[in-house]
Amino acid sequence: MKDKPMIGYARVSTDDQDLTNQRAELHAAGCTRIFAEKITGAHAKRPELARMLDHLRAGDVVTVTRLDRLARSTRDLLDIAEQLQAMGAGLRSLAEPWADTTTAAGRMVLTVFSGIAEFERFGRRPTLAPAQVEHARELLADGRTAVETAELLGVHRATLYRALRGQETSQVEARRRGAFAEDALTEADALAAADQEDRQA
């Protein structure tokens, strides 16, 4: 992390609250610049947050003491994380080390959250984005079982099978990538099982 510029963001909800502790934690973590404001998270417009986003450059890492200092909701957090990713910047929370998009594990966690948030938002059967499907293939190729992979992505195993089928993966290609090798199922067998589960649901 030392080789990446760390930009801090601090926020408190009212004028009665103090930013001193957040500033101290961010300075101690190595932040070279800190954007801070006193405004409730319910406000759509947060001037200092907007200034920070304008200031960011590729390779910067936005650092906060807690995620609720940055975002109002899971959806808001994911929207901000997507903006940062588009800029080539990272996100790190001191209190939630799992939310560190400079690491593969942190990126995976936010990918899972994204899938869950979409399901909650639209109230429908969750689907997997192309990037999630590719990540699923990597997990399967690394020896993860289909059940483990589905759990990591926050979806049912049948959803994983449908996503793989949606990309028209051939049985030969699936075996080459290691898909379904964990339970000795062919792709056709796995998809048939998923269809049966759907009918029973």
Comparing CA positions, the residue from 84, 167, 181, 190 lying closest to residue 139 is: 181
Q: HSE on the CB side for 164, CA within 13 Å?
A: 32
Which residue in 13, 93, 114, 170 is the catalytic one?
13
The yes-or-no answer on residue 114 being catalytic is no
Residues catalogued as catalytic:
13
